[in-house]
Structure 1
Amino acid sequence: MSSEASKMDKLSDDNMGTSVRAMSNGGLLKISADAPKTLAETLQRAAKQYSQQGITYIDLDGSESTQYYENLLQEAQQILSGLRKLGFKPQDKVIFQLERNQDFIAAFWGCILGGFVPVPISIAPTYELPNSTIIKLKNTWQMLGKPLILAGAKLAYGLRSLSELLKLESFQVQVIDDLRQCEPDTHWHPSQPDDLAILLLTSGSTGIPKAVMQSHRALLSRSSATAQMNKFTSDDISVNWFPLEHVVGLAMFHIRDVYLGCQQIHAPKELVLQQPLRWLDWIDRYQATITWAPNFAYGLINERAEELNQRNWNLSSMRFIINGGEAIVAKQARTFLKLLEPFGLSPNTMYPAWGMSEVCSGINFNHKFSLDSSTDKDSFVSVGKPVPGVSLRIANENMEVISEGEIGLLQVKGLIVTSGYYQNYEANQEAFTKDGWFNTGDLAFIKDGCLTITGRQTDIIIVNGINYYSHEIEAVVEELPGIAASYTAACPVFDKNG
Structure 2
Amino acid sequence: MKTSTSLGTVVSAFQALWKRSPEQLLFTFADERGRDDEKVTAAELGEAASSIASALGGWGFRPGDRALLVYPPGPDFVRALLGCLAAGVVPVPVYPPNPVRLGSDLGGFRSIVDSCEPVAVLTSSAYDRARTVGAVTGFFDRSKPEWPRLRWHRTDRVRPASFDWHAASADDPALLQYTSGSTAAPKGVVITHGNLACEVAANAHDLGLGQDTVGVFWLPQYHDLGLISVILSTLTGNSHTYLLSPLSFLQRPALWFEVMSRVGATHTAAPNFAFELAVRKTSAEQRASWDLSALRVVMSAAEPIRVSTVDSFYAAFAVSGLLRSSFYPAYGLAEHTVSVSMGGQAVLHLDRASLQRGEVVQAADGLPVVGCGRITKPSSSVLIVDPSTGAVCAPDRVGEVWVTSGTKAAGYFGLPDETQRTFSAQVPGDERSYLRTGDLGFFHDGELFVTGRLKDVIIINGRNHYPQDVEDSVRDCHTSVRPGGVVAFGVPGEAGERLVLFVETREKKAPAEEIAEAVRRRVFETHGLAVDEVVVGAQGLVLKTTSGKVRRRACRQAFLEGRA
Indicate the SS of the match to 1:488. Answer: strand
Residue from 413, 433, 444 that aligns with 2:425: 433
Indicate the SS of the match to 2:212. Answer: coil
Determine if contact 2:90/2:176 at 8 Å carries over to the other structure. yes
Once the two structures are superposed, the pairs formed by residues 138-153 of structure 1 within 5 Å of their partners are 138-153=110-125
Letter of the aligned partner of 2:215 in structure 1? S
What is the TM-score when the length of structure 1 is the normalising length?
A: 0.86
**Are positions 1:388 and 2:377 aligned together?**
yes
Residue from 31, 55, 76 that aligns with 1:59: 31
Deviation at 1:380, TM superposition (A): 1.1
1: CA distance between counterparts of 2:32 and 2:70?
Answer: 17
Residue from 70, 91, 112 that aligns with 1:97: 70
Q: 1:146 and 1:107, CA in 2 relative to 1: closer, same or farther beyond 3 A? A: closer
CA RMSD of aligned residues (A): 2.7
2: CA distance between counterparts of 1:95 and 1:413?
Answer: 29
Once the two structures are superposed, the pairs formed by residues 76-225 of structure 1 within 5 Å of their partners are 76-126=49-99, 129-131=102-104, 133-156=105-128, 157=131, 161-166=141-146, 170-179=149-158, 182-202=159-179, 209-225=186-202
Once the two structures are superposed, the pairs formed by residues 331-350 of structure 1 within 5 Å of their partners are 331-350=308-327
Give the match for residue 478 of structure 1. Answer: 475
Determine if contact 1:241/1:267 at 8 Å carries over to the other structure. yes
1: CA distance between counterparts of 2:314 and 2:195?
Answer: 33
How big is each residue's C-alpha offset from its partner over 1:32-58, in whole Å with a ceiling of 9 and x where there is no partner?
Answer: xx9951222121133234432210012
**Which 10-residue stretch deviates more, 423-432 or 319-328?**
423-432
Indicate the SS of the match to 1:355. Answer: strand
Deviation at 1:483, TM superposition (A): 3.1
2: CA distance between counterparts of 1:470 and 1:399?
Answer: 24
Q: 1:49 and 1:320, CA in 2 relative to 1: closer, same or farther beyond 3 A? A: farther
**Which 10-residue stretch deviates more, 389-398 or 456-465?**
456-465
Determine if contact 2:297/2:328 at 8 Å carries over to the other structure. yes
Indicate the SS of the match to 1:43. Answer: helix
How big is each residue's C-alpha offset from its partner over 1:30-84, in whole Å with a ceiling of 9 and x where there is no partner?
Answer: xxxx995122212113323443221001234655211112211111111111112
How big is each residue's C-alpha offset from its partner over 1:215-261, in whole Å with a ceiling of 9 and x where there is no partner?
Answer: 11111101111222232212101111011100010101111122244
**Which 10-residue stretch deviates more, 298-307 or 99-108?**
298-307
Give the match for residue 422 of structure 1. Answer: 413
Determine if contact 2:204/2:238 at 8 Å carries over to the other structure. no
**Are positions 1:253 and 2:244 aligned together?**
no
Deviation at 1:130, TM superposition (A): 2.2
Deviation at 1:128, TM superposition (A): 6.7
Determine if contact 1:445/1:452 at 8 Å carries over to the other structure. yes
Q: 1:310 and 1:332, CA in 2 relative to 1: closer, same or farther beyond 3 A? A: closer
Q: 1:62 and 1:237, CA in 2 relative to 1: closer, same or farther beyond 3 A? A: closer
Give the match for residue 44 of structure 1. Answer: 15
How big is each residue's C-alpha offset from its partner over 1:401-449, in whole Å with a ceiling of 9 and x where there is no partner?
Answer: 1121310010010110001111101211210214401101101111222
Indicate the SS of the match to 2:487. Answer: coil
User: Which ranges in structure 1 are unaligned for 5 or more consecutive residues?
Assistant: 1-33
2: CA distance between counterparts of 1:277 and 1:248?
Answer: 21
Q: 1:111 and 1:338, CA in 2 relative to 1: closer, same or farther beyond 3 A? A: same
Determine if contact 2:347/2:368 at 8 Å carries over to the other structure. no
Indicate the SS of the match to 1:327. Answer: coil
Give the match for residue 19 of structure 1. Answer: none
How big is each residue's C-alpha offset from its partner over 1:159-198, in whole Å with a ceiling of 9 and x where there is no partner?
Answer: 8624513275x3211112222xx22223111111221100
Once the two structures are superposed, the pairs formed by residues 282-301 of structure 1 within 5 Å of their partners are 282-301=259-278
Deviation at 1:465, TM superposition (A): 4.5
Determine if contact 1:289/1:317 at 8 Å carries over to the other structure. yes
Determine if contact 1:160/1:171 at 8 Å carries over to the other structure. no
Letter of the aligned partner of 2:56 in structure 1? L
1: CA distance between counterparts of 2:384 and 2:311?
Answer: 28
Give the match for residue 379 of structure 1. Answer: 368
Letter of the aligned partner of 1:202 in structure 2? T
Letter of the aligned partner of 1:96 in structure 2? L
Letter of the aligned partner of 1:338 in structure 2? A
Q: 1:266 and 1:376, CA in 2 relative to 1: closer, same or farther beyond 3 A? A: farther
Indicate the SS of the match to 1:326. Answer: coil
Indicate the SS of the match to 1:138. Answer: helix
**Which 10-residue stretch deviates more, 151-160 or 345-354?**
151-160
1: CA distance between counterparts of 2:331 and 2:440?
Answer: 12
Indicate the SS of the match to 2:488. Answer: coil
Give the match for residue 18 of structure 1. Answer: none
Percent sequence identity over matched residues? Answer: 26
Give the match for residue 489 of structure 1. Answer: 487
More RCO (CA 8 Å, sep 6+):
1
Indicate the SS of the match to 2:103. Answer: coil
Letter of the aligned partner of 1:268 in structure 2? S
Residue from 368, 388, 399 that aligns with 2:390: 399
Letter of the aligned partner of 2:385 in structure 1? A
Deviation at 1:360, TM superposition (A): 1.2
Indicate the SS of the match to 1:164. Answer: coil
What is the TM-score when the length of structure 2 is the normalising length?
A: 0.76
**Are positions 1:265 and 2:242 aligned together?**
yes
1: CA distance between counterparts of 2:127 and 2:291?
Answer: 39
Deviation at 1:291, TM superposition (A): 0.4
Give the number of equivalent residue pairs. 459
2: CA distance between counterparts of 1:427 and 1:204?
Answer: 15
How big is each residue's C-alpha offset from its partner over 1:440-478, in whole Å with a ceiling of 9 and x where there is no partner?
Answer: 110111122211000001222234554321211222222
2: CA distance between counterparts of 1:344 and 1:96?
Answer: 39
Determine if contact 1:409/1:444 at 8 Å carries over to the other structure. yes
Q: 1:266 and 1:473, CA in 2 relative to 1: closer, same or farther beyond 3 A? A: same
